[in-house]
Amino acid sequence: MPVRTPDPDPNERDDDGTPRDPLRGVGASYGSSSRQVGDGSFGSPAPESSANPGWLTDIELAEARRRLPIIYVEAIPVRTDGMGTVTQVGILLRATPMGEMTRTIVSGRVRYGETVRDALFRHLENDLGPMAFPLLPPQPVPFTVAEYFPMPGMSAFHDDRQHAVSLAFVVPVTGTCEPRQDALEVTWMAPAEAASDALSDEMEGGRGTLIRLALASVGALR
């Protein structure tokens, strides 16, 4: 099943839902005297992406995906006991753009100018809510690097849209998780259930393998 990582940037909108433009009023051009802010041309932020000049329009993103590897972060949220042993693994239920229901993990792109830690925190908050309280060290270290290819068979991971390089992390969360945006719910499973073939069959893009690698990295795979 192809991976379907969410791409919109819903935080870059005003309360009424209109795109937010922090460059509004600071000048008539962006990058050149003939290019208007938010005109959507390549290198100029379109209305839906002008809040972050490094954010790409749909057309620019499609072009970038055709030419360049895209950097992602992925997080497997876990709950631990007092000794630090993983007792539960959080698996998301998400609807794909085709209307299919699939199991997945926290995942998303790293923005231009954004640290890996900040990207992790942003995507964890987006998918699990602001009260999840993830425990992120000052310098997070991935347990593996997953390489997603549009060509099947090149690795255990597949994404029919792009070549993606993903830094994968195990992240303990201590608060209340309330999925939002396109994450419909989070199911907490015992490590054995999360590593099962039954769940792997429901995971997108080969992420069942990623779950097993995560559990093995923390000594929770029996």
Q: Where are the alpha helices (DSSP H) in 75-206?
A: 116-128, 191-194, 197-202
Output the pLDDT for position 52. Answer: 59
Cβ(111)–Cβ(12) under 8 Å? no
Which H, E and C letters describe 22-61, residue by residue? CCCCCCCCCCCCCCCCCCCCCCCCCCCCCCCCCCCCHHHH
Cβ(37)–Cβ(24) under 8 Å? yes
Other CB atoms within a 10 A radius of the CB of residue 206 amount to 18
This prediction's pTM? 0.74
Strands 157-158 and 164-172: unpaired
Instruction: Provide the residue-wise pLDDT of the chain in tens; the chain has 222 residues.
Output: 444 444 444 444 433 444 433 323 333 332 333 434 344 444 444 444 455 556 678 888 888 888 888 899 999 999 999 999 999 999 999 887 777 888 999 999 999 889 999 999 999 999 999 999 999 999 999 999 999 999 888 898 988 888 999 999 999 999 999 887 677 889 999 999 999 999 999 888 889 999 999 999 999 887
Tens digits of residue pLDDT in 16-38: 444 433 323 333 332 333 434 34
Tens digits of residue pLDDT in 185-216: 899 999 999 999 999 998 888 899 999 999 99
